[in-house]
Structure 1
Amino acid sequence: MTMVERMPSRFFVGAEPGRPDATPEPWFLDPREIRRALRARWKLVLAPAPLFLLAALAWLVLVPSQYAAVTQILMDPRGLHVVKDGVTPSDQASDASLLLVDSQIRVLISDEVLRRVVERFKLDRDPEFVRPASLLDKARGSLSSLFGASGGAAADDTLTALRALRDRTVARRLERSFVVELSVTSESRQKAADLTQAIAETYLDTVSEAQAQITRKAGEALSGRLGELQDSLRRAEDKAQQFRAANNLVGTRGQLVSEQTLTQLNQQLGAARARVAELRGRLSQIEAVTNGRADLNSVTEIVQSSTIAQLRAQLAQVEAARADTVANLGPRHPTLRTSELQVQSLRSQIEAEIRRIAAATRNDYKSAQANEASLAATLESRKNEALSVDKSFVRLRELERQVEASRAVYESFLVRARELQEQQRLDTSSARIISPASLPARRLGPPAALVFAAALAAGLGIGVALALLAVPAAGRIGSRRRLQQIAGLPVVATLPKKAGIRGDGKALRADTAYDVAVARLGSRLQRDFGTTRPTIVLVTSADDRVGKSELARSLAVSAALDGQRVLLVDADPAAVLSGDLRLRARRGIAEVLRTQTGFSGTLVDGPSGVKVLPFDEEALRLGTTAYAGAILSAATTFDSVFVDIGLIGTDVAAERIAQDERFPALLLTASAARSSVARLRRALDAIGREPRAHLVMTDADSEA
């Protein structure tokens, strides 16, 4: 006997006595349960993977390759500021600019642009864009013709190609920019690049044509209005001219003749008055010189007179000669008389000249006064005439303003119409291709390696799902977790799988995992139900006959190894223990019950000192109550009693014994691989889920 065999089984207890194990989360959330299920059904896990790999290969071979060519177009919403007044506004707000770019994207992939590309590349004859009509299409066409629908084949092909091209065309604005990325998908690299470039170029041409057309329409609208504006201006001018002629309102440069005359007369009158004042002052100065009240040199006209200047020069020479004569000859010399006469003569001439200047100035002064009076009279008469035409002049001004307004509108329309005619020849759009379409480097979609990897992952995923779904579909217990959740009772032990029962009658080895688990279970039973002697434990199952019988015998042997007096009762109609141990008693339980004698000769020595009470079918016929009483009577001289009864759900006697409350403990075994969920539930319904019932999992070596 090894050390494990002699070691008390209480050292192998795994759970607290009397306390059920906590029910964990569902089994499919436990990695260990998943690993166990996948390992048990590894063929089912791997089966879908080859199918998915073949499907991926078929997809790569049969589905045509698709290539996407990309080009980038800059759509600057500001445009080119070629002329001062363009048709479209510029310098818009940022939000409006983004909306404008989004609108241009719609134009880029519009039917107008795509239809030109379809016609240019004759896509209505391309099998890639116009698939041959299938039987379903032909049937649909026949039904349409029956209901009166019409349509040419060419138009249908063009529309089909247009729709196909529209589905293959994608345009999007790059983030935080005015750059639009355009891509077209095709089965050919070259065709994809050509179609992408063609759509971009066609869009630019369409935008340019649309802008020219808008300008042309605006110019035509302005030109249509020019004739009306010209007639309106002519009528306004004729009306003003007729009114001017009718009221004799003649003028030049926007001013009437009467107004011009008044202005001129007013200016002339002012000049005449200034002239009179000037001549009056000059005359007063000259008269002051004549009367001797002023110096000769104080009058400008006298100073500037050449005659007076000559006379004054002669006078100065004569006086100088006279002074020399006086100085040389004396004051009484006869020649001095001649000099004095010359001086007097010269002074007389100067005075005469001064009087002549005064007379001339006086005549000019009188003439100026007369002119002033004449001008004043004329101005006064002209003022009276101007007052008489004021009302007519106001109406004339109103007519002239109407003429000016009509002329201004006409001239602005005329200039704008000419500008629009010239703008038709200008392309002010700033949209341009900044990245021409090139041949795509690789096909669309994931690489072949990634496709195969995804197919393998999908196959394995489907296999894992099928394997996990097969667990409840199989209807087997499978694991301790599932057993505990199905039964709603504590699972007190999980026993690994063990080889067949030994029938040599010798003590079993206690160095295996099964023996260690049995020792732990026995220790737990002693803790839970060992307060009173003897400890009687019923061992049964719903369909695990071999497992329950082996458990009953192993528990008996384990208790015997701990030094207990153990009785092993075979109450299973199949007599598995009695047959395997090859035991036969001299007396049966039926004889004991009839004779009311002791159990001498009914007990047989089993392995490791265990006393065995073999199965007696005759005693079972006497009734389960009597049979259970006999077992209880035989158990009084033992410390532990283990009773192997029949299967619950198929053996009525076993069910009645299991329901007998004189037996404090009941172990219900279930095989992980063989026990059925439905049978287990029927067994639990038969015995009831009471506290004295405990579950034991056998044959659990497949658990992770």
Structure 2
Amino acid sequence: MTMVENVRNGLLIGAGPRGEEGREPWFLDPREILRTVRLRWITVLLPVLLLLGLAAAWTHLNPPQYAASTQILIDPRGLQVVKDGLTPPDQASDASLLLVDSQLRVLTSDDVLGRVVDRFDLAQDPEFQGRETLLGALKGLVARLTGRTEPPADPRLAALRILRDRTGARRLERSFVLELGVTSEDRDKAARLARGVAETYLARDAATRSDTTRRAGEAIEGRLAELRDALRKAEDKAQGFRARHNLVGTRAQLVSEQQLTQLSDQLGAARAKALEAGARLRQIEGVLAGGPSDSVNEIVQNPTITALRGQLAGVERLRADAEETLGRRHPSYQAALVQEKAVRGTIQAEIRRIAAASRNDYQAALASARTLADTLERRKADALKVGDDFVQLRELERQVEASRAVYEAFLVRARELQEQQRLDTSASRIISPASPPEKRLGPPTPVVFAAALVAGLGLGLVGSLGLELLAGRVRSRRRLEGHLGRSGLDALPRAPRGVAGAGAFRASFGTARGDGSYEVALARLRHRLAAAAPGQRPLVVLVTAADDRTGKSVLARALALSAASDRERVILVDTDPKGLVTRDLGAAAPRDLPATLRERGTLGEALITLASGLQVLPRPSDLPRDLAGRLADALLRSDADLVVVDLGLVGGNVVTERLIADERIPVLLLAVSARRGRLAAVDRALKAIGAGRRPRIVVTDVGARD
């Protein structure tokens, strides 16, 4: 016992309590994950190898692809080279977007792509003829076997389909720019094809516009002859009507109408002249009647009267001077007075002459107005006679003008379209030519293999954990503690090879002492058992298991040998129906155990003593059920320090169940193998034992790191 107490805790595997940390799920513990990986390394390795192989096959069957792109500006306005172009120069925004989307379909149409196939001779390019896959080869083989062979596909159609699959186009957001992309196994070929598709589209668009213009021009040319004949017929009809009805004049007005208009104008002018002459005459007659003459322009502006008035002014000055200096009786004064009267008479005579001229002008104007009025009335009567004919003539002339307008419009339009055929009015152009791409499409090969490796490891790890969960193995004390919700379970490492064999009971092993981890753990377990049942003498320990019969028997004999090596009096009792301890012992009991129990004798009569001092009670060939209670009494009355009873499996036989249910035996060990034990079996064993008696679970075969 001193050896056990002085051993360092680091050597006692599973010696101390683990607390609540053992209750967390085992698959969240890195140590349990590593243990699962070590145990199921094939399961982890297989997905890795499979995915790496798939990655290698994928990289081999899928050569690198390079995508080259180019950008084309689709200007919906076009170039208005001539007036009234075929395409309207301005369109609504929504209509423009629809036009660009329509051109997007034209860009990737079979018409454009087919011309690219012919231009670059893709029908002879192995890349655009497709590679035969394994599935295709199998289909071909089945078709040949069934006699349903299909004719070989057209190389041009095959190249067109592949080019269609490798060509994509889209309209950039909020713009009239189309982005075209073409993929190929060769970066230079991808750039050439992208440029070729864009150039073919632009050339095809220009040719379509020219062809549309030509067809429109031809349609107009076809109508020109009909319009020319219709115009000629309308003109002949109007001219014939004019000749039959003697309607002379211009296209807009007849001669009679022109004369009527002129006479009307002349009559108005004559009447205005007569009124003016009458007004002048009345003013002059007013002057003759004694009125002032300064308000009449004819008198004021007359040069003769102006000269006479100058003479009158000189004579009046002479008269005034003579009157002032000589007096009125002087002859000079009288002569001046006579001269003044003579000048005044001359002025009055000149005014009367002007009045007579004005009167003659007035009478002539009145006569002219009357004549023009008479002539106008006669012309009006003549115009009324040709009014109906002129209305019909106007209708015919309007028909002629309409026919002439349509004919001239068609003629001008035909000439414009003839010239427009030679002009490219499209404003679409390549704004970003395609260049060889630098990087291939898809992830690089190292990334593919790295992803396959990571995915394989993930699948393998998840698969291993899943299989481990389905297997329900114990594997470690930590996992069992987490499953049961109990901490501080006892644990023993894997037993040395000699303990599990028949040689364990021979003198050579029995006299040996060891200080290995297994022996130290056994000593610590015995120390705990003694501390758990103080004052018990002898200390009876029942050893059973849920599904590990071999591990249970090894634990029972190891406990007994460990105590015997410390010079304790130990009895090892074999009650297992399989009798593993008895079989390995290879010796028969001195007396039959059932007879000894019936006669209530001591166990010493049926014990076999080994050289190490260990006493073994072999299992008889038949142990009746009614002797289980007497066996317990005999064990409790023995003079040994420790009695280890190797029971059968829980639920295996009645003797085992009765000894487990005997409350006088304080210690019940449930051996659970970490390698071979199953969690479901442990649950069934604990349920069978019942809640009234709580066994002490000992996990065997644990790893060195548990």
TM-score interval w.r.t. the shorter chain? 0.7 to 0.9
8 A contact 1:476–1:676 mirrored in 2: yes
CA distance in 2, matches of 1:183, 1:78: 25
8 A contact 1:540–1:647 mirrored in 2: yes
How many angstroms does 1:548 deviate by? Answer: 1.2
* Corresponding residue of 1:121: 120
* Corresponding residue of 1:214: 212
* Corresponding residue of 2:646: 644
How many angstroms does 1:363 deviate by? Answer: 1.9
* Corresponding residue of 1:453: 450
Within-5 A mapping of 1:520-599: 538-541=542-545, 543-552=547-556, 569-577=573-581, 588-599=592-603
8 A contact 1:493–1:517 mirrored in 2: no
Which of 610, 614, 617 does residue 620 from structure 2 map onto?
617
CA distance in 1, matches of 2:188, 2:343: 125
Which of 408, 427, 431 does residue 430 from structure 1 map onto?
427
CA distance in 2, matches of 1:278, 1:525: 163
CA distance in 1, matches of 2:144, 2:531: 88
Name the SS of the counterpart of 1:540 in structure 2: strand
Q: Which amino acid aligns with 2:555?
A: L
CA distance in 2, matches of 1:625, 1:300: 177
* Corresponding residue of 1:631: 632
CA distance in 2, matches of 1:143, 1:394: 93
How many angstroms does 1:340 deviate by? Answer: 5.5
How many angstroms does 1:458 deviate by? Answer: 4.8
CA distance in 2, matches of 1:536, 1:397: 144
How many angstroms does 1:237 deviate by? Answer: 6.1
8 A contact 1:223–1:417 mirrored in 2: yes
Aligned-residue CA RMSD in angstroms? 5.5
How many angstroms does 1:205 deviate by? Answer: 0.8
Within-5 A mapping of 1:499-538: 499-500=496-497, 501=499, 504=509, 512=517, 538=542
* Corresponding residue of 2:183: 185
Within-5 A mapping of 1:28-67: 31-42=30-41, 45-46=44-45, 64-67=63-66
Within-5 A mapping of 1:70-89: 70-83=69-82, 85-89=84-88
CA distance in 1, matches of 2:539, 2:167: 84
Name the SS of the counterpart of 1:617 in structure 2: coil
C-alpha change, 1:80 and 1:375, in structure 2 (3 Å) is same
Within-5 A mapping of 1:95-110: 96-110=95-109
C-alpha change, 1:645 and 1:220, in structure 2 (3 Å) is same
* Corresponding residue of 1:164: 162
8 A contact 2:575–2:656 mirrored in 1: no
The CA deviation string for residues 2-35 of structure 1, in whole angstroms up to 9 with x for no partner, is 575489999945569xxxx86x65x656544332
8 A contact 1:566–1:639 mirrored in 2: yes
Within-5 A mapping of 1:289-328: 289-291=287-289, 293-318=290-315
The CA deviation string for residues 187-229 of structure 1, in whole angstroms up to 9 with x for no partner, is 4343333222222211111121122223333333444445555
C-alpha change, 1:223 and 1:346, in structure 2 (3 Å) is same
8 A contact 1:169–1:183 mirrored in 2: yes
The CA deviation string for residues 327-359 of structure 1, in whole angstroms up to 9 with x for no partner, is 777655667766665544444333222222111
How many angstroms does 1:508 deviate by? Answer: 8.2
C-alpha change, 1:145 and 1:43, in structure 2 (3 Å) is closer
The CA deviation string for residues 94-114 of structure 1, in whole angstroms up to 9 with x for no partner, is 555444333323222222122
C-alpha change, 1:54 and 1:600, in structure 2 (3 Å) is closer
How many angstroms does 1:510 deviate by? Answer: 9.1
CA distance in 2, matches of 1:321, 1:47: 158
Name the SS of the counterpart of 2:87 in structure 1: coil
Within-5 A mapping of 1:311-460: 311-318=308-315, 331-332=328-329, 342-376=339-373, 409-460=406-457
How many angstroms does 1:282 deviate by? Answer: 1.5
Overall identity of the aligned pairs, in %: 51
The CA deviation string for residues 162-199 of structure 1, in whole angstroms up to 9 with x for no partner, is 22222333333445544433333334343333222222
Please report the TM-score for the alignment, with normalisation by the length of structure 2.
Answer: 0.75
How many angstroms does 1:550 deviate by? Answer: 3.7
8 A contact 2:491–2:699 mirrored in 1: yes
8 A contact 2:195–2:434 mirrored in 1: yes
8 A contact 2:71–2:177 mirrored in 1: yes
Q: Which amino acid aligns with 1:306?
A: P
8 A contact 1:603–1:613 mirrored in 2: yes
Name the SS of the counterpart of 1:297 in structure 2: coil
C-alpha change, 1:187 and 1:598, in structure 2 (3 Å) is closer
C-alpha change, 1:481 and 1:178, in structure 2 (3 Å) is farther
8 A contact 1:477–1:676 mirrored in 2: yes
CA distance in 2, matches of 1:227, 1:182: 47
CA distance in 2, matches of 1:397, 1:362: 48
8 A contact 1:48–1:459 mirrored in 2: yes
How many angstroms does 1:681 deviate by? Answer: 5.2
CA distance in 1, matches of 2:374, 2:529: 151
How many angstroms does 1:617 deviate by? Answer: 1.0
Which of 662, 672, 675 does residue 674 from structure 2 map onto?
672
CA distance in 2, matches of 1:521, 1:75: 93
Name the SS of the counterpart of 2:126 in structure 1: coil
C-alpha change, 1:337 and 1:98, in structure 2 (3 Å) is closer
CA distance in 2, matches of 1:53, 1:346: 147
Within-5 A mapping of 1:480-491: none
CA distance in 1, matches of 2:571, 2:148: 94
Name the SS of the counterpart of 1:699 in structure 2: strand
C-alpha change, 1:203 and 1:583, in structure 2 (3 Å) is same
CA distance in 2, matches of 1:278, 1:374: 18
Gaps of 5+ in 2: none
CA distance in 1, matches of 2:210, 2:298: 81
8 A contact 2:593–2:620 mirrored in 1: no
CA distance in 2, matches of 1:210, 1:144: 49
CA distance in 2, matches of 1:595, 1:364: 192
Q: Which amino acid aligns with 1:191?
A: K
Q: Which amino acid aligns with 1:617?
A: P
The CA deviation string for residues 452-500 of structure 1, in whole angstroms up to 9 with x for no partner, is 4344445545654664566478886545687789999999555433324
The CA deviation string for residues 305-326 of structure 1, in whole angstroms up to 9 with x for no partner, is 2333344444445555566666
Gaps of 5+ in 1: none
Q: Which amino acid aligns with 1:369?
A: L
Please report the TM-score for the alignment, with normalisation by the length of structure 1.
Answer: 0.76
Which of 657, 678, 702 does residue 700 from structure 1 map onto?
702
C-alpha change, 1:672 and 1:11, in structure 2 (3 Å) is closer
